[in-house]
Amino acid sequence: MAAAAARTVICSTPSHLKLWSSPFSLSLSPKFTLSLNPNLPKNRPIFFSSSLPPVRSLHSPTQQASTTRTHDAIRRPNVVDILEERGLLESLTSDNLRSASSTSNSTLKVYCGFDPTAESLHLGNLLGIIVLSWFQRCGHKAVALIGGATARIGDPSGKSLERPELDVDTLEKNTLGITNALTRIFNMNMNLNNSIVVMNNYDWWKEFRLLDFLKQVGRYARVGTMIAKESVKKRLESEQGMSYTEFSYQLLQGYDFLYLFKNEGVNVQIGGSDQWGNITAGTELIRKILQPQDGAEAHGLTFPLLLKSDGTKFGKSEDGAIWLSPSFLSPYKFYQYFFSVPDADVIRFLRILTFLDLDEIDELEKEMKRPGYVPNTAQRRLAEEVTRFVHGEDGLSEALKATEALRPGAETKLDWKTIEGIAEDVPSCSLAYDQVLNLSLVDLSVSAGLLESKSSARRLLKQGGLYLNNCRVDTENKRIEPEDIVDGKVLLLSAGKKNKVIVRIS
């Protein structure tokens, strides 16, 4: 009967059902077998098709329940182990979270907070999004909490000065921008049946009176414990000190966790390592005020801050923050930032910022040490994976096309949108249509400011270094024709590989 009841699960590869990317073994009941294609590469991630037909019950209800539990265990890898293996685990409030993560019939509900201090999220927020995504990929529920209330106070963690106060209109605009960004990223990358839930803590703080807060929450907070928090100690010892407003921040965030635990069933809070004090303030309030029973427990998990190998913050450029919103930073610029990551950092960033298999990342690391390695191969993979996650396939395509547009001799056909995508990084000028049409390329190169003189333009042309719309020009007699003007709007002139000018046709 056992042999007759055996069933083969056929595997497919929908990206939203990815399970686990490290080698593991399966021990199954004889009533349930898993068949893998022997031609698949070793340690390839395992997927289950969402279109798999239901298994017809051939057993008693008890046997069927046992089989279901075994099946669930296969489908839920331990997210804490995954985070630890990839370098995304800093601290746990209790190792019980690791046990809870591996229990097949226990779905965790985890949240990460995002204060709306700007209209767009930035690269420092990306790790929180990545860790939330790992919880989702392991079958748990994810909540993003917008700090519409706490942003009015300002988190002192990691800050040497009090944050500037934001007006209500700015806060609402920022909240909308971040909500849209989180929804966009998670909807692009996750199964919509397990989509992100976005909440705003202003919804429960706006009616909370001070006296009620002091009575219900303040009485359980020990001042000595609050002062001992690392973020508070540093500020108290500084010349600037700390205001009572900022001092109260950890209680406000702690109460957020309590509220979500009590009303939404959220039992895990995650954050960067600088959030440890705020997270433990929440777990302590839950323990003292709610006194959860029957094994219910509030957990905290922190991940390392996003730093380069030299200890400096990763996520800043000469122009400022690396934003996640395409309206603040083009996908092209975002891609280029990751493409320029130093060799010393690229493998670690592949582990913590992408969902690539660790075996594949290890192979890339080995390739970097081999003779004949093509420079920036690992960086290109990092840039592609992170850009796809943040901006989707369309954003990645836009970034790649813009990258090609900056490579003289590229075969990619240019269009107006692609050229405009690099406009912020390339000098430009505007000329009237009749000023450009039938003008010699030599004269245009000087008029547009690409080269200083006609003689230098002629010399470069003879050397094969003058390009019009990425196509090398070999004849000095070349004049601008209507078909040279891309979409009737722009021209791209290049002198060698680096010097470029965009000519906009007015």
Q: Are residues 182 and 256 in the same domain?
A: yes
CATH of the domain at 387: 1.10.240.10
If we measure between CA atoms, which residue out of 503, 280, 497 comes closest to residue 410?
Answer: 497
Q: What is the mean pLDDT of the chain?
A: 81
What pTM, to 2 d.p., does this model score?
A: 0.75
Q: Are residues 199 and 158 in the same domain?
A: yes
How many other β-carbons are positioned within 10 Å of the β-carbon of residue 161? 10
In a domain, 20, yes or no: no
pLDDT at residue 5 in the model: 39
The tens digit of pLDDT for each residue in 275-302 reads 998 999 999 999 999 998 877 899 999 9
In a domain, 339, yes or no: yes
- Is residue 493 within a helix (H) or strand (E), and if so which, with residue range? strand 490-495
Q: What mean pLDDT comes out for the span 366-370?
A: 95
Residue 165, token pair as written in the block: 């106060």
Indicate if the pLDDT at residue 355 is higher than 70. yes
Alpha helices in 6-91 (DSSP H): 61-75, 79-85
In a domain, 11, yes or no: no
Where in the sequence is the domain holding 382, given as residue range(s)? 330-406
| Angle between helix 123-137 and helix 343-353 axes, rounded to 10 deg | 40
Q: Are residues 198 and 163 in the same domain?
A: yes
Q: Are residues 390 and 424 in the same domain?
A: no
Q: Are residues 241 and 351 in the same domain?
A: no
Q: What mean pLDDT comes out for the span 224-249?
A: 80
SS3 per residue for 175-187: HHHHHHHHHHHHH
How many other β-carbons are positioned within 10 Å of the β-carbon of residue 269? 30
pLDDT at residue 16 in the model: 36
pLDDT at residue 38 in the model: 42
SS3 content of the chain, % helix, strand, coil (to 5): 45, 10, 40
Q: What mean pLDDT comes out for the span 10-16?
A: 35
In a domain, 297, yes or no: yes
Q: Are residues 345 and 244 in the same domain?
A: no
- Is residue 110 within a helix (H) or strand (E), and if so which, with residue range? strand 109-114
pLDDT tier for residue 131 given thresholds of 50, 70 and 90: very high
Indicate if the pLDDT at residue 408 is higher than 70. no
Q: Are residues 396 and 273 in the same domain?
A: no
Q: Are residues 155 and 291 in the same domain?
A: yes
Is residue 221 within 8 A of residue 289, CB to CB? The reply is: no
pLDDT tier for residue 34 given thresholds of 50, 70 and 90: very low
Q: Are residues 294 and 335 in the same domain?
A: no
Instruction: Choose one of 254, 286, 303: the last residue of a domain.
Output: 303
CATH of the domain at 178: 3.40.50.620
Q: What mean pLDDT comes out for the span 58-66?
A: 39
The tens digit of pLDDT for each residue in 188-202 reads 987 656 788 999 999
Question: Of the given ranges (97-101, 107-111, 145-149, 406-410), which has the lowest mean pLDDT?
Answer: 406-410
Distance CA 448, CA 113 (A): 49
Hey, which residues does 500 pair with through a beta bridge?
494
In a domain, 489, yes or no: yes
Distance CA 287, CA 225 (A): 15
Q: What mean pLDDT comes out for the span 130-149?
A: 94
Q: How many domains does the chain have?
A: 3
Question: Of the given ranges (18-22, 241-245, 325-329, 475-479), which has the lowest mean pLDDT?
Answer: 18-22
CA 193 remoteness from chain centre: 20
pLDDT at residue 349 in the model: 97
pLDDT at residue 410 in the model: 63
In a domain, 36, yes or no: no
In a domain, 55, yes or no: no
In a domain, 334, yes or no: yes
CA 201 remoteness from chain centre: 22
